Each structure stands twice: as structure tokens, then as C-alpha cells.
Amino acid sequence: MPIEFPKDKFPGSVRTVTLGATAASGGSRAFTVTVGGEKNLPFLHFESTPPHPAVLAVEIKDSRPGDWSPMLMAAWGEAANDPVSWAKAVEALGVRLLVLALSPVDEAGKPATPAKAVQTVKSILAATGMPLVVFGPGQADLDNELLVAISEASKGERLALGICEDSNYRTIVATAMANGHVVCARTPMDVNLSKQLNILISDMGMGSDSILMDPSTAAVGYGIEYGYSVMERLRLAALQGDAMTQAPIIVTPGFEAWKTKEAKVGGPESGVPAAWGDWAGRAVAWETLTAVSLLEAGADILVVRHPETVRRVQQTIDALMTVPSLV
């Protein structure tokens, strides 16, 4: 007798958010990227196929980073000397979403200025066709200063601006609303905090089609289980109909994995245990396995750093999006 498959039927679904705008809709992007819309838990095709695959985004900096792992710098080579050539190298991999992470100071150690940040964004937009996510340096005042200028100068491009936190969301949300952008709302690994920030942002009048949420995560070995479970709980709450948990989820496995010792340190002089294995392989594995685990937990956008991770995780997304035969 055939088994009756136990299927979940949820009343709610994840909101759909589109990043980037083409010329037809007031921007200059070659294409747009849409995420969200899931009606069930990740990749369970026997219930329903996700309307949009999870999207890989690659993070670049506005100047050649001095504190990134040598493995990453070797992978990007000279392209990373300049944000425009770096962005082009990312696009050449077939990546469909770019994340520009701004630094608090420039290469010469001078504080970042709105004019310079705007110029960087403008030149990346001019040189590439990918929709763009811009993260501020992570210092509330400076973030506001830079992101407002970028938001205004890129009106209509439908950037995603981040990072909105409890302390600084007002300014970023206001400028995103005024200029047609999306915001990334980040909270520290707690379902209720995620909900609360979404409520605060929604209360300002931001549409649910313009909010991404980053519930924070951590790399394998550094607390991934907390982020993993928060993501699963948020997704279940969203599907059960809680509107304030229905934003698509953006996570940063690249940032998390590449600050671990496992990714940053290696080689014969480093003194790391032999049981850690080959450095290059380990570093990419750390980022890839962090990303894949978060994908299984419901990530809609995964921000990574290494070209090989891009290849592996994209392959995994493609494979998971393939409808299997269960008969």
C-alpha cells in the first residue's frame, strides 16, 4: 500500500522582495533579483517548489582589505585592489548579487567620507549590472552619514541598505523609503528581537516588500547552532502566519567563516594542529559548510567571500532546486 506522505500545509508564506531596478523601472541594473515567497520549509518539493531559489551574494570591500585571510586575497588577486575591478571579477563568476561593505577609514587611514562612498557606489553601478547591497562600516553615526548620501545618490536603484540595527534603524529606513531602497534589519540571534525590529521598521511605514532580515549567525564551531535554530524558528513562525517574521532571511556566512582561526591561519609555521588538514581546503570548507547549513535552515540570501565557495554553494542550490522523483 502506498504511504501517504505527511505534508505540512501552512497558512503563511515568506514575503517576496526584489532587489535592483532595471532602466524600465527607474534604475540602471541589467537584471533584478527576487527572493522569498516560500510556502514551506526549504526545498521540500513534495509539498511545493520554492518560487525563487536562494541567492548567493559576494561581499567586496571599498578598498583592498588589510585584514582578510591571505587565502581570500590570493583568490581575488589584483582584482581586489580596486572595488570596480573586484565587482567585475565577481560578476564574471556569474554571481547575481553584489555586497559592498564600506570601511570606516580609507587605505591611507583617513575617515571615510560620503563623497568618496557615493563615488565608489556610482562607479560600481556604472561598471556592472548586478543589483547591489551596501553595508555601512558598522558604526552608527558613520553608517548614517554614508548610507544616506549613497541612498540619495542612487535613488531608484533599489539597493539594499544595511545594517539596520536597534540603535540606528530610523535614519536608514527613512532614507530607504524616500529613495526606493530595501533595508537589511539585523538583530542578535533571538527570534523576539528579530520580530521587534521588524515591527519598529514596519511602524515607520516601510513596506513588507522592502525588508530583509538578518537574524545573525555564526560560523561552524562558533555558535552556528544558535543562528541555525533561530532561523528555523523564524521560518516556522513565518509559515504559521506571523507577519513580523515573514521577511526573507539574509545571512553572512562569509564574514563569519573568514574571521575564524580555521580560515585565517595555516601553513607549516602557524602551529595549527595537523588534524586541521590543508589550509586552503579547510578555509573554503569552513565557509562552504557554514553556508550550506544555513541554506538548509532557510536562508534566502547567503553572502560569501571566496570564488570556490560561490561555485560549490551555487551547485548545491541548483541541486536542491531540482525536483526529485520520489516514486
Partner 1 sequence: MPLSGIQIYKLLPMTNCKECGFPTCLAFAMKLAAKQVELAACPYVSETSKAQLAESAAPPVRLVTLKSTSQEFATGNEVVLFRHEKTFYRRPGLFIRLRDDEPVEQLKAKAAQAEKYAVAYVGMDLKVDGLALESVSGNPAAFAAAVKAVRETCQRPLVLVSQDPAVLASGLDALDANERPLLCGANASNWEALANLAKARKSPLAVSAANLDALAELTEKIKGKGVEDLVLNPNGKSPSEALAHNTLIRRLAIKKNFRALGFPILAFTGGEKVDALDEAIAAAQGITKYAGIIIIDHFQPEVIYPLLVLRQNIYTDPQKPIQVNPGLYDINSPGPESPVLVTTNFSITYFSVANEVEGSGAKAWLLVVDAEGMSVLTAWAAGKFDAERIGKSLKTFKVDEKVTRKRLVLPGHVAVLSGEVEETCPGWEIRVGPREAVDIPAFMKNVL
Binding site for partner 1 (CB under 8 A): 1-3, 5-6, 41, 43-46, 67, 218, 220-226, 228-229, 232-233, 236, 259-262, 264-265, 273-279, 281-282, 284-286, 288-289, 292-293, 296-297, 312, 315-316, 319-327
Q: Return the number of the residue (3 or 126) whose C-beta is nearest partner 1.
A: 3
Beta strands in 200-249 (DSSP E): 211-214
Shortest distance, position 59 Cβ to partner 1, whole Å: 15
- Closer CB to partner 1, residue 58 or residue 218? 218
Nearest distance from C-beta of residue 216 to partner 1, angstroms: 11
The CB density around residue 117, as the number of other CB atoms within 10 Å, is 25
Which residue carries 516556522 as its cell? 236
One-letter-per-residue 3-state SS of 110-138: CECCHHHHHHHHHHHHHHCCCCEEEECCC
Question: Chain-centre distance of CA 44, in angstroms?
Answer: 23
Shortest spacing between CB 135 and partner 1, in angstroms: 14
Report d(CA 118, CA 190) in Å as an integer: 33
CB of 90 to partner 1, least distance (A): 21
User: Is 206 or 292 the residue whose CB approaches partner 1 more closely?
Assistant: 292
b or e along 175-184 (b: 16 or more beta carbons within 10 Å of the residue's beta carbon)? bbbebbbbbb
Please identify, using beta-carbon distances, which residue of 154 and 194 lies nearer to partner 1: 194
Mode of pairing for the β-strands spanning 16-19 and 33-36: antiparallel
> How many C-beta atoms surround the C-beta of residue 129 within 10 A?
14
Q: What's the min distance (Å) between Cβ of 234 and partner 1?
A: 11
Of the pair 52, 264, the CB lying nearest partner 1 is at 264
